[in-house]
Structure 1
């Protein structure tokens, strides 16, 4: 198959990577992490200006109508920066809910605000003890006149500390024909009865735990919400796979540069064949991940079962490759690879976080083992 980039795709990659090179150096990222929200509002605005946020949405909904290949290229380029901004939480997760679960009138209200960066949403689904399953939502939704009241707890809400609003999954109670059914609801960040506890993950990404005590909410998706969420989970898992590929590429580039410049015994250590072989092994692991992620992207319009198989297989490969590349990068750098002042350790932490998002290796291996294999029909 031909994976050469088209002219428009090359322009997209160049635009995103120029932004990353200019406004997301390692030193700048360290400064952004210390800001009140843990990320840069200026970079967020720049991402909106160059159209990256509008890329996954159709032109009818106010987006740019980019395809899966365009979006994966953008995610890969952003992954090289180990982006701290709420891109996955707002654009990927909540954007996918709007694309897959709402009518045109609703999309025309919400999506343009996501595209221009004026609205930041976060998706609240995980709960204490729920692990990675999509069905284990115990938060309750009860009808109260024209609105809904939500009661429950949510954990690990990506960028939930700075979101303007939340899409919250909850089980519907005491409504004829829908009792016990999963629904998705919108909650304003300043809603009465909503409490947030913020914290940072290992790589600096901000999160929050939510406590909802009879919080007023607006219904977003009721009919077919379970299938919508399953597809949204696939979208998000695919996005973090490409994010991981960007970080793995950055680690490989750093390691190769180090091998070329670090001298020992009067010569660059990259001239030693055994270290060259280890660098090639890193490249092979990266290309294996890239190939699997391309396969997963190609199934984006397939059945849910096919998508889940391809995503699980891809995530397993990504987890294996990221662990291998991270370990090799640290070993080939030596002690400097673990210092706070050098980039390598920060990329390793990033990969460890991405590995656990939207299903870790054990979750996806278990799910794949319950099917007839990756390529079954």
Structure 2
């Protein structure tokens, strides 16, 4: 298998890295951390102009027809810059679910708007009692004479505060067809009965909890034809974990580069820290963990369209391994920076916080080790 990047992929990587280096300095990140929106609408517009919002969308809907590998290249650069724009929520999850589940009319309505930056989405699926079990959904959707009525609550909705529409999962109660199916519903953020409570996320960005109290929707709010959406949700979450793994690799690489440079200039007893053999060994261990994580993230991206069990094992394996490596690299970076590693003057702590958040998002390493083992018995 040829794992070398194509010319187009190399150009994408170079442009994304230049953008992250030029637009995301320390001052910008501190400004976004104190901004109620948590990201810059001007930067989001630039994402659209550069074609990044259209990257995985099919060409017939105004996209570029890219895949998980291209998303991974972009996300690694985003990790280097600690980008806080709602890219995963809108493009990796939202656009993917509409493309996978939506009718042709729904795709024509939503996907071009995502590509041009005028529509932001958020997937509302997680619930308090679920504990990362994607099949456990208590939110209910009852058919009415006018369409649907939703009731329930969701937690940890990525970038939901900025969403124009939510994609809400709910168990369908429909006398016309057997129950037990999970459906996905497009719920505009201005819908009566929808209450959004947002909060800052560790490491940048925001999330929210939502309450749906007697929310009435038209018939066409149901995404697709009403078939069980759980397989599509599992696929989208696995793709999101691959993308977030690539972002974590970018963060880890930045921490490694920063720490390596710091040990060259920081002197102790008249010698730079990097002259110490023990320090060199620790830096080598960090570099090894970064390379292992990059390989796992790439494997998850390459398996994004494989058979469900193969895809899910690759995603869970990457999530578990990268989570463990990320904590090691982050902790080593802080320790080698000494007391400076936890100050506001250096951004080591900010990068480490994003890695801690990555480790818990969609389930921690322990959860995905267990999922990987369970899937192995099904293979």
1:308-347 aligned within 5 A: 308-347=312-351
Deviations 1:187-244 (A, max 9, x none): 1111111111111122132111111011123111421311111111111111111111
Q: Does 1:372 align with 2:379?
A: no
Deviates more, 1:280-289 or 1:35-44: 35-44
Unaligned runs of at least 5 residues, structure 2: none
If the length of structure 2 is used for normalisation, what is the TM-score? 0.96
CA distance in 1, matches of 2:33, 2:351: 14
Q: Does 1:248 align with 2:248?
A: no
Deviation at 1:33, TM superposition (A): 2.0
Q: Does the 8 Å CA contact 2:68/2:239 hold for their aligned counterparts?
A: no
Deviation at 1:103, TM superposition (A): 2.8
Q: Report what 2:100 is aligned to.
A: 100
Q: Report what 2:296 is aligned to.
A: 292
Deviations 1:45-78 (A, max 9, x none): 1111111111111112211111322221111111
CA distance in 1, matches of 2:13, 2:206: 26
Q: Report what 2:159 is aligned to.
A: 159
Deviates more, 1:361-370 or 1:277-286: 361-370
Unaligned runs of at least 5 residues, structure 1: none
Deviation at 1:36, TM superposition (A): 2.5
RMSD: 1.4
Q: Does the 8 Å CA contact 1:187/1:216 hold for their aligned counterparts?
A: no
Q: Does the 8 Å CA contact 1:62/1:108 hold for their aligned counterparts?
A: no
Q: Report what 1:303 is aligned to.
A: 307
CA distance in 2, matches of 1:6, 1:234: 24
Aligned pairs, how many? Answer: 375
Deviation at 1:125, TM superposition (A): 0.6
Q: Does 1:273 align with 2:277?
A: yes
Q: Does 1:363 align with 2:367?
A: yes
Q: Report what 2:37 is aligned to.
A: 37
Name the SS of the counterpart of 2:190 in structure 1: coil
CA distance in 2, matches of 1:94, 1:216: 21
Q: Does the 8 Å CA contact 1:96/1:235 hold for their aligned counterparts?
A: no
* Residues 274 and 168 of structure 1: CA distance in aligned 2, closer, same or farther (over 3 Å): same
Q: Report what 1:235 is aligned to.
A: 239
Q: Does 1:220 align with 2:223?
A: yes
CA distance in 2, matches of 1:323, 1:279: 14
CA distance in 2, matches of 1:175, 1:361: 41
1:199-210 aligned within 5 A: 199-210=199-210
Q: Does the 8 Å CA contact 1:137/1:170 hold for their aligned counterparts?
A: yes
CA distance in 2, matches of 1:285, 1:236: 21
Deviation at 1:2, TM superposition (A): 4.0
CA distance in 2, matches of 1:84, 1:147: 36
Q: Does 1:264 align with 2:305?
A: no
If the length of structure 1 is used for normalisation, what is the TM-score? 0.96
CA distance in 1, matches of 2:148, 2:337: 55
Q: Does the 8 Å CA contact 1:316/1:361 hold for their aligned counterparts?
A: yes
